Amino acid sequence: MADPALVIDAALNLGSWWVPAILPVTVVVLMLPILDEERALAEGHPRQAEYLQEVRYRLFPRVWQGVLEGVSSAAAAGRA
């Protein structure tokens, strides 16, 4: 899946207002099967429910983990 900001920017530069209007709906539609699959896996595999609780950001694990760690360390540095 492409970066949503890039998709919106390209669409607006080409004069299309439909893409930014439809993009949120598209993201939700793509997330529904992912959530359904996770629910089915949690019911069928005993360790999957534990994994789902431990790992919050599963779609892009290392990306979100790095972003959150960077935000946490920046916030901690600001308080120091």
- The tens digit of pLDDT for each residue in 1-45 reads 566 677 777 778 888 777 778 878 887 888 888 889 888 988 888
H runs (alpha helix) in 1-80:
4-13, 18-44, 46-54, 61-79
Q: At what angle do helices 18-44 and 46-54 cross, to 10 degrees?
A: 130
Q: Which domain holds residue 23?
A: 4-79
The band of 75, judged by pLDDT with boundaries at 50, 70 and 90, is low
* pLDDT on residue 22: 82
Type of residue found at 63: V
With H, G, I as helix, E, B as strand and everything else as coil, classify residue 80: coil
Q: Which two tokens stand for residue 22?
A: 């439809």
Has this prediction a pTM greater than 0.85? no
Across 17-21, 39-43, 67-71, 73-77, the highest mean pLDDT is recorded for 39-43
Q: 77 pLDDT exceeds 70?
A: no
The residue behind tokens 């019911």 is 43
Kindly report the backbone phi and psi dihedral angles of residue 14, in degrees, each rounded to the nearest multiple of 5, phi listed first.
-90, 0
Q: What is the number of structural domains in the chain?
A: 1
